[in-house]
Amino acid sequence: MIIDINFIGLIIASIMASAVPLILASCGELITERSGVLNLGVEGMMIIGAISGFALMTVTGSLIIAIFGAMLAGVLISTIFAFLTQTLITNHVATGLALTIFGIGISAMIGKNFVGIPGKEFPVFFEGFKDTIPLLGPILFGHSIVFYFAFALPFITSYFLKKTKIGLIVRAVGDSPESASNQGINVRLVRYACILYGGAMSGLAGAYLSMIYTPQWIENMTGGRGWIALALVVFSTWNPIKILIGAMIFGGLTIIQFHMQAIGVRIPVQFLTALPYIVTIIVLVVISRNSRKIRLSTPSSLGKSFYKDN
């Protein structure tokens, strides 16, 4: 059998495309968690982003408004979470779960009118270069702006956390909000900002799904990707580069098991469908097995409420 080398390139490109929403949502959640806040509402924020992006695109016809609108929708819904957990000091876990249920419900309600409407074509870059380099051509060229942004994001996130002052403050707040507060850092403000940023990235991830990846609205179309994103953050031990690896493995296995099913490999379908979840977790656990590094990168105050007693 002769396999066209460009075909392999196309498969890799499709794997990367399926990793995009995971990378975006995970990197957003990573910043939130690094500040000590556990937001389990990623799935809910993603699906809100998905319906907002699709609805705005259909109504206004503008892709730019739609993309930024989806991010804004993510910010708005995460503001609810931030207000509840940071101002009213509610429990992070319960509030996050509620946010997911709320997001799925409200997106289904808004989405009723948008079912079956075809999406719009999203502009891609460097389309013409696709065939100039074998294998690498389809991988590097012909993708949307969101795609390129997603693959730059883990490196930007890593740089932000390690090298910038604000990144340092985020890590400090996650390590010890009490000490940060005594140092004159406004813990609540930092956490608000990190939650809202996480919301924006989840919104963007959702918009990517409904506007670029499969340009249409289907109820519950995030299909658990928000939960995978959450798992990636934990199993990558809060390391953005490992998130990239995890997302690629997960995306890769999802695509490959589709192809295996299509070819008719005699393995139970249920096992193939479960494969990405199992392998991703195993790989991330193995590459993260250094308890010293885990201790150094785990935000010590994760999920704990902080309030100043004056």
Partner 1 sequence: MNTKLKISNVTKIYPGCVANDNVSLEFNSGKIYALLGENGAGKSTLVKILSGVIIPDEGEIYLNENNLKLNSPSDAKKNDIGMVFQHFNLFETLSVFENLIIDSDEQREGLREKIDTIMKKYNFSIDLDIPVLNLSAGQKQKVEIIRCLIRSPKVLIMDEPTSVLTEQETSELFLSLKKFSEEGILIIYITHKLKEVMQLCDEVAVMRRGKLVSVSQIKNENIESLANKMVGQNLKTIKKKKAKTSSDQLIKITNLNFTSEDPFETNLMDINFSVNRGECLGIAGISGNGQSELFQVLSGEIISEKNSIEFNKNYIGDLNPQERREYLMAFSPEDRLEQAAIPQMKIFENVALNNFKSSNFFNNGLINENKIKEHSKKIISDFNVNTENIELKSQFLSGGNLQKLIIGRELITSPDLLICFNPTWGLDVGAINYIHETLIKINEQNKSIILISTDTDELLKLSDKISVIHKGKLSKIMNAEEVTSEKLGILMGGAN
Minimum gap (Å) between residue 241 Cβ and partner 1? 18
Minimum gap (Å) between residue 30 Cβ and partner 1? 15
C-alpha to C-alpha distance for 217 and 239, rounded to whole angstroms? 32
Minimum gap (Å) between residue 303 Cβ and partner 1? 16
Nearer to partner 1, 259 or 295 (CB): 295
C-alpha to C-alpha distance for 54 and 217, rounded to whole angstroms? 7
Q: What is the chain's alpha carbon radius of gyration, rounded to the nearest angstrom?
A: 20
Nearer to partner 1, 2 or 309 (CB): 309
Among the candidate windows 5-13, 94-102, 174-182, 278-286, which touches partner 1 by CB under 8 A?
Answer: 174-182
Nearer to partner 1, 76 or 185 (CB): 185
Nearer to partner 1, 60 or 183 (CB): 183
Contact flag: residue 34 with partner 1 (CB under 8 A): no
Beta-bridged to residue 125, according to DSSP, are: 143
Minimum gap (Å) between residue 296 Cβ and partner 1? 5
Is 135 exposed, middle or buried (CB count within 10 Å of its CB: 0-12, 13-18, 19+)?
middle
Contact flag: residue 184 with partner 1 (CB under 8 A): yes
Contact flag: residue 170 with partner 1 (CB under 8 A): no
Number of residues that bind partner 1 (CB under 8 A): 23
C-alpha to C-alpha distance for 258 and 190, rounded to whole angstroms? 42
- Which of 44, 64, 198 is closest to 122 using CA atoms? 64
Nearer to partner 1, 94 or 166 (CB): 166
Q: Which two tokens stand for residue 235?
A: 């199993």
Nearer to partner 1, 270 or 291 (CB): 291
Among 88, 263, 268, 292, binds partner 1 (CB under 8 A): 292
Contact flag: residue 91 with partner 1 (CB under 8 A): no
Nearer to partner 1, 6 or 301 (CB): 301
For the chain, give percent helix, strand, coil, nearest 5.
75, 0, 25
Among the candidate windows 3-11, 115-123, 226-234, 288-296, which touches partner 1 by CB under 8 A?
Answer: 288-296
Among 15, 42, 71, 172, binds partner 1 (CB under 8 A): 172
Contact flag: residue 286 with partner 1 (CB under 8 A): no
Nearer to partner 1, 143 or 171 (CB): 171
Q: Using an 8 Å Cβ cutoff, are 297 and 162 in contact?
A: no
The backbone torsions φ and ψ at residue 214, rounded to the nearest 5 degrees and listed phi first, read -130, 90
The backbone torsions φ and ψ at residue 20, rounded to the nearest 5 degrees and listed phi first, read -55, -55
Contact flag: residue 164 with partner 1 (CB under 8 A): no
* Cα three-residue angle 244-245-246, rounded to 5 degrees: 95
* Cα three-residue angle 86-91-92, rounded to 5 degrees: 75
Contact flag: residue 145 with partner 1 (CB under 8 A): no
C-alpha to C-alpha distance for 115 and 141, rounded to whole angstroms? 31
Q: Is 61 left (phi over 0), alpha (psi -120 to 50) or beta?
A: left
The residues of the shown chain that bind partner 1, judged by CB under 8 A, are 165, 168-169, 171-172, 175-176, 178-185, 291-292, 295-298, 300, 310
